């Protein structure tokens, strides 16, 4: 009788330990694929504070995708509107590839959308010129209030993360160039799940990578479609509306709306 009870107890404990080791192995694999330092998750451990973490989209939220690229486009005598169309095709290709399940990384999409935009305007660039404008993606600048906002959030002991379509290399280079890298505890790239926003797998990757349940994460995006997708997944969402464009009619409304990140940081400070 006692032998059976002890045997069952040992089997249960071994099963629990094995499940925990498998979970840790999966997290280590996830960290390696992202090429960034993500924490190893311990189940049911949540970071303290009003939110377990605040996760930001990168392009169009922290980083201005227009100013540097537009300046380089003008140097190359490309037409007005060139960068706007380039960015729109970049997003369109990411959405289509996610829907078709035909993944290539975000750098390849950025090159493909550049080629489309050049053809649309009937322009050609030398390889040196193409390399010059493409490398503008490594030199993007933060929006003016971003560093002040991040300083305030860090002062209030917030754990900050990034979730981005960008490749690890793209993100590493632009975050170091812009001086933003040190603000963030972890950078999560979609590369490890081989798809793009707004696929729910991307938002699930964030939840799993940073060890915080979705209802304890505040997701911040300056792209209204991204904010809607994050809300659909179950995050608390803050939308950064830098212009007067109407929000998307997707049935998911952000919890908060701000015109810039400093407004968000001051709001968090007063919670």
Q: What is the pLDDT of residues 148-173, one digit of tens each?
A: 999 999 999 999 999 999 999 999 99
Kindly tell me if the per-residue pLDDT of 39 is higher than 70: no
Strands 160-164 and 141-142: unpaired
Kindly tell me if the per-residue pLDDT of 184 is higher than 90: yes
CA distance 266 to 269: 5
The percentage of the chain sitting over the pLDDT mark of 90, rounded to a whole number, equals 78
Report pTM.
Answer: 0.84
Joined tokens for residue 94: 């990411």
pLDDT, greater one: 38 or 109: 109
Residue 244: cis peptide before it, omega within 30 degrees of 0: no
CA distance 124 to 107: 20
Annotated catalytic residue within 57, 64, 105, 226: 57
pLDDT (tens digit per residue) in 85-104:
999 999 999 999 999 999 99
Residue-level pLDDT at 19: 47
CA distance 228 to 251: 8
Kindly tell me if the per-residue pLDDT of 179 is higher than 70: yes
Cβ atoms of 192 and 205 within 8 Å: the answer is yes
Mean pLDDT confidence for 122-138? 98
Give the CA distances from residue 179 to residues 74, 86, 146, 151, 261, in Å, rounded to whole numbers and listed in that order.
25, 25, 11, 12, 17
Torsion of CA 19, 25, 27, 28, to 10 degrees: 160
pLDDT, greater one: 30 or 132: 132
**Confidence class of residue 49 from pLDDT cuts 50, 70 and 90?**
low
215 classed as catalytic: no
pLDDT, greater one: 198 or 22: 198
Q: Is 48 exposed, middle or buried (0-12, 13-18, 19+ CB in 10 A)?
A: exposed
Q: CA 266, 160, 175 angle in degrees (round to 5)?
A: 105
């Amino acid at each position: 009788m006692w032998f059976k009870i002890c045997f069952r107890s040992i089997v249960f404990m071994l099963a629990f330990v094995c499940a925990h080791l498998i979970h840790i192995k999966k997290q280590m694999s996830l960290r390696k694929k992202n090429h960034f330092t993500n924490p190893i998750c311990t189940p049911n451990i949540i970071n303290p504070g009003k939110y377990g973490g605040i996760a930001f989209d990168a392009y169009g939220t922290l980083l201005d995708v227009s100013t540097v690229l537009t300046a380089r486009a003008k140097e190359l005598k490309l037409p007005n509107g060139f960068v706007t169309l380039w960015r729109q095709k970049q997003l369109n290709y990411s959405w289509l590839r996610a829907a078709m399940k035909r993944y290539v990384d975000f750098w390849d999409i950025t090159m493909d959308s550049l080629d489309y935009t050049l053809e649309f305007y009937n322009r050609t660039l030398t390889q040196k010129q193409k390399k010059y404008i493409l490398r503008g993606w490594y030199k993007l600048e933060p929006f003016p209030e971003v560093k002040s906002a991040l300083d305030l959030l860090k002062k209030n002991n917030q754990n900050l993360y990034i979730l981005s379509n960008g490749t690890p290399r793209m993100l590493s280079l632009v975050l170091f160039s812009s001086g933003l890298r040190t603000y963030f505890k972890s950078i999560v790239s979609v590369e490890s799940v081989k798809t793009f926003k707004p696929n729910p797998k991307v938002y699930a990757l964030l939840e799993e990578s940073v060890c915080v349940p979705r209802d304890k994460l505040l997701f911040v995006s300056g792209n209204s479609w991204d904010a809607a997708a994050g809300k659909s997944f179950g995050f608390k969402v803050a939308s950064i509306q830098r212009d007067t464009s109407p929000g998307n009619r997707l049935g998911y409304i952000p919890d908060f709306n701000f015109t810039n990140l400093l407004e968000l940081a001051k709001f968090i400070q007063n919670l």
